[in-house]
Amino acid sequence: MTTTPRKPSLALVLLLVLFSTGASRADAVVRHSYVSIPVSSGGASWSVAAKLNYPLESANGAAVLIVHGSAGVDSRGALHAKSLNAAGFVTLEVDLWAARGWLGTSFGRPAGVPETLPDVFAALQFLVDLPGVDANRIGLVGFSWGGVVTMLSRGRAYLEKFSGGHEFAANVAFYPVCWLYNTVPGYELQDVIDTPLLILTGELDDYDTPTSCTQWRAGLAEPDRDKVEIVVFPGSYHGFDTAAERVVVTDPFSHQGQGGQVVMQANERSREQSDRLMVEFFSAKLESDDD
């Protein structure tokens, strides 16, 4: 449907623990921990840093992994983590760039999104091992680069190569550059698992057309199409959920691969609506069987 609007891993390194309190639901009591997660792939090993938020009074047993965009960790992760924590979700936001020394610009990032999938599945394993988290109720949300990660994490080929036997139970992809899939080599995404996916994108996104995501969905088998919901926010650019000032960047993947300038601009209404839709989606799809 398209609408408009167990034991913790021994490798865990606890760097800092903070406590924040508040009376309102939006300021739920949350423990903030900074952790290091070991990753290995292709004979190389490294560690990815992450921020773990754990609701102390309202945890519902589910968790959501948060993956940033090309600019690195920014206001979007904090915004959505706060809302998810208030709804009872444990959140883990990874920093894909720090371990590699990347600056987080369009031309300083890795050659392709699949290079960062080992980090994401290592983070999933961390959550699977985390006490108080149901291994079958872990979701993934990502923005732009992270949105592409979110999309690829449902592909059977990528799961077989990187997942280690685990998969995300539900996915939310913010403006995930839908024209890429099944067009650019390395981004094949026709054979997917049947987990629910919510795509949130903007009408004015400079990477895609307003119909790019629906065109990708149309190429899926009918049972797989039924698992995908798409919301296109009118009058909204790439990065509409940011709190940052308007910025214009150049990206060779923009304009359906023609390259050029990309406007990244906040839209307060779309930011609030997308945040609410994300929380509602995860609350429904990651609900406990006991609820």
For the chain, what's the residue count? 291
Is residue 207, in this structure, part of any structural domain at all?
A: yes
The full 3-state SS of 171-213, as one line of letters, equals EEEECCCHHHCCCCCCCCCCCECCCCEEEEEECCCCCCCCCHH
Is residue 291, in this structure, part of any structural domain at all?
A: no
Is residue 189, in this structure, part of any structural domain at all?
A: yes
Q: Among the residues of the chain, which ranges form H helices?
A: 75-86, 117-129, 145-152, 156-162, 212-218, 222-225, 254-257, 268-285
Is pLDDT at 184 greater than 90 in this prediction?
A: yes
Is residue 251, in this structure, part of any structural domain at all?
A: yes
Percent of the chain with pLDDT over 70: 87
Domain tally, the chain: 1
Task: Over range 13-32, report the average pLDDT.
Answer: 52
What 3-state DSSP class applies to 30?
strand
| Residue that is written with structure tokens 């206001």 in the block | 75
Is residue 150, in this structure, part of any structural domain at all?
A: yes
Q: In 46-55, which positions are buried (b, 16+ CB within 10 angstroms) versus exposed (e)?
A: ebbbbbbbbb
Is residue 221, in this structure, part of any structural domain at all?
A: yes
Cβ(44)–Cβ(115) below 8 Å: no
Q: Which two tokens stand for residue 231?
A: 């919301």
What 3-state DSSP class applies to 186?
coil
Is residue 290, in this structure, part of any structural domain at all?
A: no
Q: What angle, rounded to 10 degrees, do the helices at 145-152 and 117-129 form? A: 70
Summarised one tens digit per residue, pLDDT across range 108-149 is 667 899 999 999 999 999 999 999 999 999 999 999 999 999
Q: Which two tokens stand for residue 271?
A: 């930011």
Whole-prediction pTM: 0.89
- For residue 257, what is the domain's CATH number? 3.40.50.1820
pLDDT for residue 61: 95
Structural domain for 122, as ranges = 2-285
- 288 closest CA partner among 130, 89, 81, 119: 89
Is residue 165, in this structure, part of any structural domain at all?
A: yes
Q: Which residue has the higher pLDDT, 13 or 225?
A: 225
